[in-house]
Amino acid sequence: MTLEDGAVRRFRDFLGQSVPEPPPEGMWLGKYLLKREVARGGMGIVFEAEDPKLKRRVAVKVLKETEAGAEEVARLHREAAIAAQLRHPNIVPIHEVGMVRDDADRCTHYIAMDFVDGRTFAAVVRDPAVARGERLRMLEDVARAVAFAHSKGVVHRDLKPENVLVDTTGRVALTDFGLARSESFQTRLTASFTVMGTPAYMAPEQVKGLLPEVDARTDVYALGVMLYEALVGKPPFQADVPATLYDHILHREPARPTELDPSIERDVEVVCL
């Protein structure tokens, strides 16, 4: 099916489903042949796809039609531009940011990137078969990727286990720079966007909305939360109500990992806290 035959319209109808289903056989988005849906979030859907000309697997992140306002499209393009400047073995490479139109002149926006065949670090943390030392080795590689981004003037601002992919060999790859800040890119996106993050991994300055203080140290805090979770299986603070969680982040001290698991090395605990 070609774009002229209505493939983009068909794809847009597929994006509007409330219940995820496999993409119909032969569905194309631009030059990419979609294989299956691999993730679905608040703003986008990620597909495993194939680039037939280059004979390679790719991941295609597509902006949902309901989220495709001018600001959201700008965020998508900004995410691609920031990630594309970061060439590192532990950061997912970006191939293309693009847009296709259907026969009703409606646009679908997407990013194409390397496909990582594996699972998220969140799944690794939940897997008792993965040794603690291996989890720490993975986090060390994540820290290297974050340090490289910082050296290029990029702050991720949404570090969490779900944004770290682990392939079948154990190699980690940092992804999703949708909330990143870069010294190379000026933005007029809303202030609410700049303070967004995932509550359990947000640093106190993010919780308070102190924009000038959200910098590389914010990522270091999130790495500490991820290390804590890798050690004990849960973040340092949890609550059903966001306001309660924010209060805990601002005013409480976390339990020491060695109190929850005496087998944890104290040197690792010192790094974590």
Half-sphere exposure of 60 (CA within 13 A, CB side): 28
């030392």: which residue's tokens? Answer: 133
- Residue 142: name the closest of 117, 170, 172 by CA: 172
Question: How is residue 212 annotated by DSSP?
Answer: G
Cα Rg, the chain, nearest whole Å: 20
- Residue 205: name the closest of 246, 170, 167 by CA: 246
């290029």: which residue's tokens? Answer: 152
Catalytic residues: 158
Say how far apart CA 182 and CA 264 lie, in whole Å. Answer: 36
Which helix (H) or strand (E) segment is 28 a member of?
A: strand 28-29
